[in-house]
Structures are given as C-alpha cells and as structure tokens.
Amino acid sequence: MKGIKYLNWTNYILSGTLIIILSASIMIGNQNLYEKVITFMVYIFLLLGISQLLSVLFKDKKKFKKQDLILACGNLLFGIIMVLFPGIPLSILPLLFAFYLLFNFLIKGVDYLISRANHLSTKWMDLFLSIFYLIAGVSFLFSPLGHLPTLLSIMGFYGILLGLSEYRELLKEILPNRYKKKIKRSFRITLPVFLEAFMPRKMLNDVNHYFNDLKEINESDYAQEKEEEKCDLEIFIHLSPIGFNQFGHMDFYFDGKIISYGNYDNTSLRLFDSIGDGVLFESDRKSYIPFVIKQSEKTLIGFGLRLTEDEKKRIRKELDKVKENAYTWYSIAQRDLSKKIIKKVDEYEDYASVLYLETKKKTKFYKFHEGPFKTYFVLGTNCTAFADRIVGKSGTDLLKMVGLITPGTYLDYLDHEFHKKNSKVISKTIYNDATKEKAMNKNKKKTFKKKKSMLE
C-alpha cells in the first residue's frame, strides 16, 4: 500500500508541475507561440487533405466511393482557405470564448429574473455578472484577434491554478487529519464546465462496454468498499442515453430516505422545459432505484460517504432549514386517489404520478413558498446545486463551486476521491438493469483494488 501511496504523490507532483509549465509557456509565449502552433496545425490539415485526395484518386476503381472524394476535396479546400486567410484559424479560439461568455450572459440573465421574482438578495450579483458577461462577450465577438493576447493570458492563468490544485490534493494526502480540516471546503479548480457536462455520458458508455463483455458478473465488478464500515450517506449520479438525461442527475440517500430535487411538476414548465416550480421529494430506496433504472434506461453510480456524528447533525439541520419554507405538494395521481379515482400507472403521463405509484405510494413531494429553491432552473438552481447546499455546505469536505455546477462536476470529483486512500468516499457501486438486485442486497465486503474491474 505504501508503493501505491508514493505513486499517487508522484502523480500529483508530476501532473501539477507539467500543467504549470505548459500554462506558463502559454502566458510567456503568448500570441507568437499560439500563431506558430496554429500555423503548424493548418499545414498538417492541408497535407492530410492532399493525402486523402491522392488516396482516393489512386484507389482501385472497384473500391472508389464518391463520398470519400467529396470529403477529401472538402478537407483540401478548407486547408487552402486556412493558408490563404490565416486570420480565420487564429480567430477560432477567441470566437468560441466569445460564445461561451454570451452563453453565461444568458444563464445569469435568467438567474437574475428568477432571483428578482423570488425576492432573493443574490439578484444584484446575478445582474452584475450578466452585464459583465455581455460586455466581455460582445467585445471578444467583434474583435477576436485584438483580444487574443488577453484570452491566452486567461488560459495560462487558469492552467496555473489547475496545476496548483494538484499540489493542494497532495497536501491533503500528506497532512495529518487535524490539519486537513483547515483546507476544507476551499475552492477547487475543475475542468471547464462544458467538458464536465459530458462526463456522465462518457461514464455510461464505459460502463455499458464493460458489462457487455462480461460472461459472468461478480460482486467486485459492480461494488467495492475501501472500509468495512457501512456508509452514512450515498450520493447517486444518474447516467442515461435519453435526451437531457445524458447530462446526468444527482440525488442522495440519507437517514433512510432518497432525497431529490428537480422540476417534477409538468404543468409549471416553461422556456423549453428548462424552468419550472422547484419540487423536493423523499422516497423509498428499495423501490426508487429499480424504478429510475426502468423508467429512463438509467445506470446509477452510487458513492458512499463516511460521516462523523457532527457532520450528520449538520446535514439534518440543513435539511430542516430548507424545508422550513416548504409545503406538501400532491401529484395528479395523489389528487385522483383523494377523489377515489382509480387509474393504472400507464394512464398517467406526468413523472411525479408515475413515481408515486411505482414506489408504492412511499414518495412525498414538497414545493417552496420562497427561497432559492422555489424556482428550478436547469442551468442554475438545479439538482446539483441543491445537493451541494445540503451535503457540501454541511462540512463534509466536498467541492465548493461558483457558477454553473453539473452532475458531471460531482461525478469527476467523487470518482477522484474514491481512488484516494484517506477520503470520505469509501464505496462505489454501479446500479443498472444487470446488477440492481445484487447491488442493493450485497452482503460481502470487498476491499479496494482486490480485483481489476470497472470500478478501478
């Protein structure tokens, strides 16, 4: 185990140093280095187009495909245009950054309108950030080359912070537990959100490929535990191949209840279903997990956390605080049952009604009179923001984020923590159609890295 520990330390040092060196090179080399790299890539692309065209022309006529010729000519033409007009490839990165800033302008603009409607104190910060993103985005959009040095400096600075975060992780590994508390809940630099948003889909593909190749499924293939003790809280990251579910969902199991937040009232949805009344529900774990696996073809990755008694008290206190502004809300199925109207599950189209019936009426729903969770926004006050409020801000040493956080952000962090020796994440379990029964009733304890598996 000491060898693994020292290997982890070495990885942190090497990766952090390499990232910092590359980032510093971007800042020092700035536009000259960037132009050389882009010019090199343009000529590589041009040579690739020529190679593809020659390959098509000299290919056996029997194997000739018209689409291959079109693709080769297209690539060659694109390469020629890039060589003749070098300003185009140089502008691509600043333009992409401009669209990213404008996207954030829209998000913060919606956040401001929601905060204003709900009379939240954060509305002025949302308004300020929205205006800032708008001005910066328009500026980059209309003068991409003029802002190229600024963008490269931003990228270099961001990369240096990313590298320093590796050293921070090293400190957390080396320092005794009494000192680790001093760096709890500090800001963590992560990958750009547009990359982490797709991590649930990538993880789902990896899981599917792994289980498709198995002839027999053993417990170590879907469940591993670093410690013998039972976890106190389990965070679920939902993976699905369907629609917006591909970006994931997040909820957790605590004190005998599944706790989830989302836009479960279909009648309140607006703005392309991205905004609606915030709905919190508590449900039964035994019936909820099989339901979500069946309903949306989901795979759940469950991360078990070990908590102290003080941390558990903080979570209970935070939940009580959130529910102070909540009131019981009833799904259509519940309202029908109160009127003695009996329908089958497949007669309901709203998710809340189906969930209520499929979990054998063991689900309770809440809405909010006021507060930050009164209105759900898929790119703002979403399932991850709720879980971060309850779990993260209750002193459990999970990541602290500003801005947009996604289930992919938490998936990346929790998976990283699971592979660390001394972390609160002590177990990882895969729940899907093939493993759900065994995973929910596992009895044997598996030690970490006992067998090479999907969980490694």
Residues 259, 204 share a domain = yes
Residues 300, 413 share a domain = yes
For the residues of 339-371, what is the DSSP string, one character each? TT----GGG--SHHHHHHHHTTT--EEEEESSS
Contact 283, 266 (CB under 8 A): no
Longest Cα pair distance anywhere in the chain, in angstroms?
77
What is the pLDDT at residue 409? 83
Q: How far apart are CA 414 and CA 194, in angstroms?
A: 18
| Residue 179: inside a domain | no
Contact 219, 438 (CB under 8 A): yes
What is the pLDDT at residue 455? 64
Residue 396 CA, distance from chain mean position:
19
Give the H/E segment covering residue 407: helix 407-418
Q: How far apart are CA 432 and CA 370, in angstroms?
A: 37
Residue 358 CA, distance from chain mean position:
28
- Tokens 């009127």 belong to 339
Domain coverage including residue 91: 2-104+139-158
What is the pLDDT at residue 8? 63
Neighbours of 341 (CB within 10 A): 10
Residues 435, 316 share a domain = yes
Contact 427, 225 (CB under 8 A): yes
For the residues of 45-84, what is the DSSP string, one character each? HHHHHHHHHHHHHTS-GGG--HHHHHHHHHHHHHHHHHHH
Q: How far apart are CA 291 and CA 141, in angstroms?
A: 46
| Residue 372: inside a domain | yes
**Which residues, at least 6 apart from 17, have a Cβ–Cβ distance to it below 8 Å?**
163
What is the pLDDT at residue 284? 94
Residues 12, 87 share a domain = yes
Q: How far apart are CA 327 and CA 366, in angstroms?
A: 5
Contact 345, 247 (CB under 8 A): no
Q: How far apart are CA 454 and CA 456, in angstroms?
A: 6
Which pLDDT tens digits describe the chain residue by residue (456 residues)? 454 455 566 777 888 888 888 888 888 877 888 888 888 888 887 888 888 888 877 776 666 677 778 888 888 888 888 888 888 888 888 998 999 899 999 999 999 999 999 999 888 999 999 999 999 999 999 999 888 888 888 888 888 888 887 787 777 777 665 555 555 555 556 666 667 777 888 888 888 777 777 767 777 778 888 877 789 999 999 998 877 778 889 999 999 999 999 999 999 999 888 999 999 999 999 999 999 998 878 999 999 999 989 999 999 999 999 999 999 999 999 999 999 999 999 999 999 999 999 999 999 999 999 999 999 999 889 999 999 889 876 665 555 555 567 888 888 888 888 887 778 899 999 999 888 888 887 644 444 444 456 666
Q: How far apart are CA 214 and CA 229, in angstroms?
A: 29
| Residue 449: inside a domain | no
Scanning 187-300, the segments in alpha helix (DSSP H) are 193-196, 199-212, 219-222, 285-295
- Tokens 């959009």 belong to 141
Residues 253, 207 share a domain = yes
| Residue 45: inside a domain | yes
Q: How far apart are CA 396 and CA 310, in angstroms?
A: 10
| Residue 338: inside a domain | yes
Quick one: CA dihedral 104, 106, 109, 111, positive or negative? negative
Residues 227, 149 share a domain = no
Domain count, the chain: 2
Contact 315, 397 (CB under 8 A): no
Look at residues 193, 346, 374 and name the one whose alpha carbon lies nearest to residue 276: 374
- Tokens 């792994």 belong to 210
Scanning 213-328, the segments in alpha helix (DSSP H) are 219-222, 285-295, 309-323
| Residue 445: inside a domain | no
Residues 146, 222 share a domain = no
| Residue 229: inside a domain | yes
Look at residues 122, 162, 231, 227 and name the one whose alpha carbon lies nearest to residue 15: 162
What is the pLDDT at residue 175? 67
Look at residues 368, 413, 422 and name the one whose alpha carbon lies nearest to residue 235: 413
Neighbours of 357 (CB within 10 A): 21
Residues 371, 299 share a domain = yes
What is the pLDDT at residue 396? 59
Residues 287, 349 share a domain = yes
Return the amino acid letter for 325.
N
| Residue 204: inside a domain | yes
Partners of 260 in the β-ladder: 281
Contact 287, 358 (CB under 8 A): yes
Contact 203, 197 (CB under 8 A): no
Residues 190, 90 share a domain = no
Contact 258, 238 (CB under 8 A): no
DSSP state, 231?
A: P
Residues 197, 80 share a domain = no
DSSP state, 135?
A: H
Residues 147, 196 share a domain = no
